[in-house]
Copies of this chain bind each other. A is one copy, B any other.
């Protein structure tokens, strides 16, 4: 029992509460950025955050919940909803913002969270609510503006039509691998979103 005491880490200044949570989130995101979601382990997160696993499990019931929270933290606040006066440009802007988010750490984290969601209906419901309140809200708002401008018939604004564009983007994210190029987004907007809302893309091609 050769106990070489050395510096006792327990005597270092200790973080608590929100500060510690912040450090744990940072560790999760750094791990994901470095090695991806599937290589993320609770031990590695704890070590990287210089926290104990007990502290992790006091805050979250398991890995899925931890990553879900970390992913929410990593998401940029709700982007300002664009209002350019053209439904085409507004939609394209929203789609581009979404695609850009999915390319970075948030995308990596989302892949992990989605994997959990597939196995766990409660996680799935939570993710669905989040997506609905995020992309859905923005789409609804730019469509309301288009209706007010008289650019779009209000009867066409239904959940099915609203979800078509985002669904194609998400499918591309899930099944595709590389970055989502702009041609894809333009194709979705011009060939799917605008036709569904009765807008002719050709009448809207002022800026990009």
Contacts and interface: CB of A to CB of B under 8 A. Distances in A.
A176 B128 contact: yes
Please tell me how many copies of the chain the complex holds: 2
Interface in A31-54: 36-38
Contacts of A191: 158, 160-161, 196
Interface string A124-151: 1101100100000000000000000000
A64 to B, nearest CB: 11
Interface in A151-208: 158, 160-161, 163-164, 167-168, 170-171, 174-177, 187-188, 191-192, 195-196
Interface string A95-126: 00000000000000001101101110100110
Nearest to A119: B38
Nearest to A186: B160
Interface residues of A, number: 35
A39 to B, nearest CB: 9
Contacts of A171: 163, 167, 170-171
B188 A160 contact: yes
A199 B117 CA distance: 36
A37 B117 CA distance: 13
B36 A119 contact: yes
A37 B119 CA distance: 8
Contacts of A161: 191-192
A114 B118 contact: yes
A112 B118 CA distance: 7
Interface string A67-81: 000000000000000
Contacts of A160: 168, 187-188, 191-192
Contacts of A158: 187, 191
Contacts of A167: 164, 167-168, 170-171
A30 to B, nearest CB: 18
Given A37-B119, A111-B119, A168-B164, A128 B196 contact: no
